[in-house]
């Protein structure tokens, strides 16, 4: 596993890496790996995650074009941005490269300052695209981790809130995964719109995956924000059911033994951790405790939020909605 993101340069053997790429990589402390075998390029991309693939567009011929087409045809390898370096600007070649899936093309007509700026922008886009959950467009686990680290480094009180749907699996079993995806998207919009609408840049919302979300807010705003989230959720979730289930407030589902039992409508559980009474050294500690509080919240009926108020690991003084 590489310690730093690597730039892969695909070009002929013995041909030096262009100064633009070499100097830019040096400024970013990114190592460069030079390869002339398309299979080796694909193998490295499949094993790890290089930050950028740079293709010598003038000296690789059809091999470079075929490599980009092949990589961009697979969603797993397509996430790695492909930068094409070309000498003179040829509209027909540029069209071919973009048609193959290239993310950026730099030619000699682009001033050096703009070339570096485009490289910076390409790097930012690649990091953002990898960190965003595709179904909700919310930041994923890497960005959540970075945000927790940022809050830990500050001297402000904050709350990490772990939100999870109750009875979501049963809902998927009764309806469909399409309906389940719609509910997850609805929840993402509720969390985003409430947190950002009430707190603006002071709030953060991330999507771990599935029906698990994290939102981070100032500790002083816990009650205000969470009460609004649960209120909006409880208002909207009944309309995700058919009229019969909505009117009854439940439906019959089968447990693991095949026995019928009443399944209530979905509710939302939020487990909350703050740094009011604790000092955290690492985001993993926050995540572990937030998961514990979320699990506790799910043992309570209805939509609830619970706040950990313990000062030590041995105490148990939880607060709830």
DSSP 228-294: HHHHHHHHHGGGGS-HHHHHHTEEEEE-TTS-EEEEEPPEEEEEEEESSS---SSHHHHHHHHHHHH
pLDDT value at residue 259: 80
pLDDT value at residue 13: 81
CB neighbour list of residue 283: distance below 8 Å, 6 or more residues apart:
145, 148, 149, 152
Cα angle: 25, vertex 27, 33; to 5 degrees: 20
pLDDT value at residue 6: 86
pLDDT less than 70: residues of the chain: 1-4, 49, 75, 128-132, 134, 312-321
Do 97 and 56 contact (CB within 8 A), yes or no?
no
CA torsion, ordered 118, 119, 123, 128, to nearest 10 deg: 0
Backbone angles phi, psi at 213, to 5 degrees: -130, 155
Cα angle: 126, vertex 132, 134; to 5 degrees: 110
pLDDT value at residue 130: 65
pLDDT value at residue 136: 85
Closest CA to 184 of 168, 204, 200, 196: 168
How many whole angstroms separate alpha carbon 224 and alpha carbon 194? 10
pLDDT value at residue 315: 40
pLDDT value at residue 317: 41
Domains in the chain: ranges and CATH: 7-131 (3.40.50.2300), 141-320 (3.30.70.270)
Q: In the chain, what are the helix, strand and coil shares in percent, each to the nearest 5?
A: 50, 20, 30
Q: How many CA atoms lie within 13 A of 5 on its CB side?
A: 15
Largest CA distance in the chain: 74
pLDDT value at residue 321: 44
CA distances from 290 to 265, 270, 298 (A): 24, 9, 12
């Amino acid at each position: 596993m590489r310690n730093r993101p690597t730039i892969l340069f695909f070009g002929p053997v013995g041909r030096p890496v262009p100064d633009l790429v070499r100097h830019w990589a040096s400024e970013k402390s990114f190592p460069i790996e030079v390869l002339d075998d398309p299979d080796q390029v694909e193998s490295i991309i499949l094993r790890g995650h290089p930050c950028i693939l740079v293709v010598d567009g003038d000296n690789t011929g059809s091999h470079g074009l075929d490599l980009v087409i092949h990589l961009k045809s697979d969603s797993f390898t397509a996430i790695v941005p492909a930068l094409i370096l070309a000498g003179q600007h040829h509209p027909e070649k540029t069209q071919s490269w973009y048609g193959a899936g290239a993310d950026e093309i730099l030619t000699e007509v682009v001033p050096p300052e703009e070339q570096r700026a485009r490289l910076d922008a390409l790097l930012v886009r690649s990091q953002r695209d990898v960190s965003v959950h595709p179904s909700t467009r919310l930041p994923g686990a890497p960005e959540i981790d970075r945000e927790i680290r940022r809050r830990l480094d500050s001297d402000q009180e904050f709350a990490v809130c772990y939100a999870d749907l109750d009875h979501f699996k049963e809902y998927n079993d009764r309806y469909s995964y399409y309906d389940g995806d719609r509910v997850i998207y609805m929840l993402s919009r509720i969390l985003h719109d409430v947190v950002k609408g009430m707190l603006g840049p002071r709030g953060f919302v991330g999507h771990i995956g599935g029906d698990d979300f994290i939102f981070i807010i100032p500790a002083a705003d816990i009650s205000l924000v969470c009460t609004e989230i649960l209120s909006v959720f409880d208002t909207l979730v009944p309309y995700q059911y058919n009229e019969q289930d909505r009117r009854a407030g439940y439906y019959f589902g089968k447990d693991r033994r095949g026995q019928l039992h009443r399944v209530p409508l979905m509710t939302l559980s939020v487990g909350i951790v703050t740094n009011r009474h604790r000092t955290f050294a690492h985001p993993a500690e926050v995540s572990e405790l937030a998961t514990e509080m979320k699990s506790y919240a799910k043992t309570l009926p209805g939509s609830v939020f619970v706040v950990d108020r313990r000062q030590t690991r041995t105490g148990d003084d939880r607060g709830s909605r």
